[in-house]
Amino acid sequence: MQLSTGPSLQEYTKVFLAFCDETRLKVLDLLKEGEKSATALQELIGIGQSTLSHHMKVLVESGVISARKLGKWTYYSICESGGEYASRLIQFLTAQTGETGETAETTPLATPITYQRRTTNMGKFKIVADSSCDLPREYLAEHDIELMPFPLMLNDVEYNTNETNQMSSKEFYDALRNGDMGKTSLINTEAFLTSYKKYAEANEDAIYIILSSGLSGTYQAALLALDEVKESHPNCKIFPVDSISATSLCNLLIKKAVQKREEGLSAQETAAVLDETKKRVFGFFTVDDLMFLHRGGRLSKLSAVGGSLLSIKPVLNILPDGKLEPKEKVRGRQAALKNLVTQFTRSIDPNSPPETVCIAHTDCEADAQKLAALVKEAAPTVGEVIQCMMSPVIGAHVGPGAVAIVFEGAITRAEFEETYYKK
C-alpha cells in the first residue's frame, strides 16, 4: 500500500510500537473520552507513577498524545493528529497483511479509530459544601454550589443553618453574650446518603468539601454513606474531600474547586488538586472568651479562669491533621492580633504573597479591620484582603470576639509545624 501524503513509514512504525502494549491501549481508550491527569490515569488503570511515566513517554514521543503542565500536575490528551495516525496505521497494517476490514475491526488496534475530546462530565460536576464554609449565599447561587446544613442548637432549640429567615449570625452572637448556650452536631450518614443518591441516580459527578475530620465526625459519616451508595451505584463518581479546615479555610478550597471546574477539570482531578492545596491553607485564630475553648475541651477550666484573670489570649493553629490547638499565649488583645500577623508572615513568600487573605470574625468587626490593616502593613504587596463573619456553626465553639487570618501559604502546615513548633 502506497500513501502519497501523511506520515512516513518510520512514523507509522513509531506509532505502531506505541500501541503495542495493553496498558497503552487502556491509556488511549481513556484519553479518547477527554483530557486526564497523570493521577487520574494511575487510579483508573491501577499502575504506579513510574510505570505510567514510562508508557506516557513512549506515547508522547510517538506523536500520539500531548502533555501539558499545570502547577505540579501533568495532564494528557490525544493529539489532533493522534486519531488520524492510528486510523491510517490500521489501514496500512490491514493492507500489508491482506486482512479484510471485518477482521481488522476485531483486533485491539481497530477499536480506537476515531478520537474526539469529550466535554461530558469534564468541568460539569456538582460542588457540595457544608454550612461551616461561611460563603455568601450570593456566591453559592452564582456558582451552583449546594449547601448541606449543620444542625445548630441554641438553648435546646434547633435552627436550620441553611434557612435565610432563621436567626442571623449577629443575633446568635448576641445570644451567646447574654449567656445562652449554643452547640452543633454532625451531619449524619443518612443526610449524605440522600444527597449522594440524587447525583448517583442522575449519573452526575460531585465533590463534597467537608469540615475537618479533626473537628467533627461529619467526614466519617460521609465515607460511610459513600460505601453504602456504591453498593447500589458502583460506578458513581462522588468524591468526599476532608478539608482538614474550617470556616474561611473551607471557602478558599471551594473557590479553588470552582476555578478548576471552570478550567475543565473533572471531579476526580479537582479532588486531587484540593487534596494538595489544603495542605498549604492556613488558619490562625485568637479568641476573646476562654470559657468557650474550655467547653470545647481545648482548654482546662483552671487555664481558662486563670487566663481570663491575667488577660491571656491564646493563638490557635489548625494543624496538619485538621485539629485546632493553642500554640502561642500572649497578654492582651492587641498583642494577639500582632501575633496572628507574625504567624502569617512566617507562612508566606514575601516576594509572592497570597492573592487573597481573609479575616474571619465572630461579630468583632473593629478588630477584624485592625488585623486587616496590620496585614497590609506587614505585606504591602498582598492581594485582596477581605472580611467576613463566621457562621454559628464554628462560632458556637469559639464564642463572640474570635478573629482569624486565613490564606494559602508558600509552605505546608506540616513544614510550618516542623520549623516553628518541633518539640
Q: Which of 218, 248, 275 is the last residue of a domain?
A: 275
For residue 63, what is its C-alpha cell? 506523536
Give the residue-averaged pLDDT of 212-217: 94
Task: For residues 231 and 145, state if they share a domain.
Answer: yes
Taking alpha carbons only, the member of 155, 163, 166 closest to residue 137 is: 163
Q: What pLDDT score was predicted for residue 48?
A: 72
Taking alpha carbons only, the member of 171, 172, 422, 211 closest to residue 318 is: 211
Q: Are 229 and 236 in contact (CB under 8 A)?
A: yes
Domain assignment present for 59: yes
The proportion of the chain whose per-residue pLDDT surpasses 70, expressed as a percent, equals 78
Mean pLDDT lowest for which of 215-219, 273-277, 302-306, 406-410?
302-306
Q: What pLDDT score was predicted for residue 51?
A: 72
Give the residue-averaged pLDDT of 1-29: 60
List pLDDT tens digits, range 147-181.
999 998 899 888 876 655 567 889 999 999 999 99
Given a cut of 60, is residue 4 above it in pLDDT?
Answer: no
Task: For residues 270 and 319, state if they share a domain.
Answer: no
Partners of residue 284 on adjacent β-strands: 317, 405
The CATH number of the domain holding residue 314 is 3.30.1180.10
Q: Between the CA atoms of 235, 120, 241 and 231, what dihedral angle is there, to the nearest 10 degrees?
A: -10
Partners of residue 388 on adjacent β-strands: 360
Distance CA 70, CA 330 (A): 42
Distance CA 77, CA 269 (A): 14
Q: Which is more confident, 241 or 300?
A: 241
Domain count, the chain: 3
Given a cut of 50, is residue 135 above it in pLDDT?
Answer: yes
Given a cut of 60, is residue 145 above it in pLDDT?
Answer: yes
The CATH number of the domain holding residue 76 is 1.10.10.10
Q: What pLDDT score was predicted for residue 69?
A: 79
pTM check: above 0.85: no
HSE-CB at 156 with a 13 A cutoff on CA atoms is 0
Chain centroid to CA 306: 39
What range does the domain containing 22 cover? 9-110
Task: For residues 227 and 303, state if they share a domain.
Answer: no
Given a cut of 90, is residue 192 above it in pLDDT?
Answer: yes
Q: What pLDDT score was predicted for residue 1?
A: 35
Measured N-to-C along each axis, helices 49-61 and 38-45 cross at an angle, to the nearest 10 degrees, of 110
Q: Are 47 and 23 in contact (CB under 8 A)?
A: yes
Mean pLDDT lowest for which of 162-176, 261-275, 392-406?
162-176
Distance CA 309, CA 301 (A): 12
Mean pLDDT lowest for which of 51-55, 219-223, 248-252, 366-370?
51-55
Q: Which of 275, 295, 310 is the last residue of a domain?
A: 275
